[in-house]
Structure 1
Amino acid sequence: MWFKHLHLYRVHDTPALDRDTLSEALDAQAFRPLGGVEAKRMGWSAPAGRGSEQRLHEIQGHRLLSALRQERLLPAAVVREEVEARASDREAAEGGPLSRQQKQALKEQVYEEFLPRAFVRTQRLDLWWDTGRGLIGVNASSRKRAEDVLDLLRQTLGSLKVTPLATKATPTRAMTEWLRQPDERPAALELGDQVELKSNGDEGVLRGRQVDLDGEEIQTALSAGRQVTRLAFTIDEALTLVLHDDLAMKSMRFADALLDEASQTDDGDDPILRLETDFALMTQTLSNTLEQLIDWLGGEATPAAPTP
């Protein structure tokens, strides 16, 4: 259950919901598999998996929710090829080209026929809600998928006002300075071996993996005016991540010592207890890490107008 990615949001003016009320709301929006002609669907699932019906776990104000997203994979090229074949047959039979409206109707017909036979992809997306700090973090590989989960939560609650978490110093500015001036780098920050640098001109993007981030090549790129938009590092020996310019935390890896502590906890083979133990340890580490990271970035910026 350990998160691999994290997109962070500040929560605004959300009414306090007790555990029972929120659980009932989640149950009302429970996930159901796709119907025959549906292209995609989302709903809430049990974080502990199929053996559980509990859709909400809460540990000391930290809430864990899991959404399931299903979509049918119907490649546009497959639809286009079939439409072209059918259009060609009709044009030959009718002795003239089809109109744009006729081709569009043919496309819709092919789509409806092929959709029930398309492969179905299911994706789990976890949400961490720190009610004490008013923060939400979504474990999703992209901002778009994180927004999908927030839309589902907004629909579940009736309203949800959030804005992406922002800091006074932009991640790009801070990461660039960390590489440019090693002496100013936070003591608890240990550089990794991945970096992405962008220029203001047309030179494109420079990406490096398994490189010495304090090496001459990186310093030369910085001297030429490039800015750091992604950087791999470890915070306080507890969490390794790649920080992006939008404050997204990707490719997260928790310290072996923490994972060992979780694995040594006696859970009596109870999957619920195992999940909640892991969640408690993870959120404690994330909370400490975020507090430190936000401090390094000058503190939290005044949020923009929230999305209702």
Structure 2
Amino acid sequence: MWFKHLHLYRLHDAPSLTADELLAALDEQAFRPLGESEAKRLGWQAPAGQGGSRRLHELQGQRLLTVARQERLLPASVVREAVESRAAEREAAEGRPLRRPEKQALKEQVYEEFLPRAFVRTQRIDLWWDTRNALIGVNASSRARAEDALDLLRQTLGSLKVTPLATKVTPTRAMTEWLSQPSARPAGLELGDQVELKSTTGDDSVLRGRQVDLDGDDIQTALDSGRQATRLAFTIQDAVSLVLHDDLALKSLRFADAVLDEAAENETGDDPELRLETDFLLMTQVLARSIEQLIDWLGGEASPAAPTP
């Protein structure tokens, strides 16, 4: 249940739906497997997986929803090779080069023919809706996957006005300052051992370090040369460690042993839904405090741009 990554969004004019009303809407967009001619499909599934039956869990204003994203994997190189082979055969048989519309039609034919035989990949995307703080967090490895989940929620609700969470001080500026000026680091922040530094001199070079001393001479020399931090690993209040990205994405989340021990102490037996709810509530409590602290360290929340309806 414990999130690995988190993309954060501010919710504007949140729809006033009861849990039952939201659940009914989710059921209408329930996941179903791909048809043979479909390349991608998204739908809502039970967060507890096969051991659960409910598509929504709500506890103390915290909602958990799960998207199942299924797609067929058809490499472009496979399609291209088949198109080139068939085009060459037709050109030889007809004694003329194929026109662009003919090649495009051939490409569509190959794609439709190969698609039903392509491998199918299914991914899970968890969505945390904090109704108390009008915040949505998506547990996804990329911003594109997070947007997929938001698009499905928007389709489910009819409207969803959200903007990526933004702060008055950019993560890049703050992370660079924390690295270059130890005295500027806020209390409760403990540096980790990962960093990404990008050049500001126009060559776009990137320096990445893992398991390195972030207060070491090599890092300081790179900063003195004008590089800026675009990723930085640190721990917030001894509760959760993460890698902060320049777009405010929280990656590689790891919860402290004390938090996981508390979850183990609250173990609720073999009921998968009850166990999920126990972990989810504890996790969101830790995340809500940590996000609030992080926003404060970054100068507070910035005024959002116009939300997407």
Distance 1:169 1:101 in 2: 51
Q: How much does 1:131 deviate?
A: 0.2
Structure 2 SS opposite 1:47: coil
Q: How much does 1:287 deviate?
A: 0.6
Give 5+ residue unaligned stretches, structure 2: none
Matched, 1:247 2:248: yes
Deviations 1:144-180 (A, max 9, x none): 1111110100000000000000111111111111111
Give the 5 Å matches for 1:62-211: 62-201=62-201, 202=203, 204-211=205-212
Structure 1 SS opposite 2:5: coil
Matched letter for residue 306 of structure 1: P
8 A Cα contact 2:70 2:123, kept in partner = yes
Distance 1:301 1:88 in 2: 57
Q: How much does 1:53 deviate?
A: 2.1
Matched, 1:270 2:271: yes
Structure 2 SS opposite 1:22: helix
Matched letter for residue 17 of structure 2: L
Matched, 1:230 2:231: yes
Deviations 1:272-307 (A, max 9, x none): 110000001100000110111111111111111111
Distance 1:155 1:176 in 2: 39
Structure 1 segments of 4+ aligned residues over 4 angstroms from their partners: none
Q: How much does 1:237 deviate?
A: 1.1
Matched letter for residue 295 of structure 2: I
Distance 2:89 2:101 in 1: 17
Q: How much does 1:224 deviate?
A: 1.4
Q: How much does 1:268 deviate?
A: 2.3
- Between 94-103 and 25-34, the greater mean CA deviation after superposition: 94-103
Q: How much does 1:258 deviate?
A: 1.2
Structure 2 SS opposite 1:50: helix
Identity %: 77
Distance 2:15 2:240 in 1: 32
Q: How much does 1:51 deviate?
A: 2.7
Counting matched residue pairs gives 308
Match of 1:10 in 2: 10
Q: How much does 1:203 deviate?
A: 5.5
8 A Cα contact 2:51 2:273, kept in partner = no
Q: How much does 1:112 deviate?
A: 0.4
Structure 2 SS opposite 1:291: helix
Matched letter for residue 28 of structure 1: E
TM-score of the pair, normalised by structure 2:
0.98
- Between 214-223 and 122-131, the greater mean CA deviation after superposition: 214-223
Distance 1:86 1:304 in 2: 50
Distance 2:173 2:52 in 1: 45
Structure 1 SS opposite 2:49: coil
Match of 1:293 in 2: 294
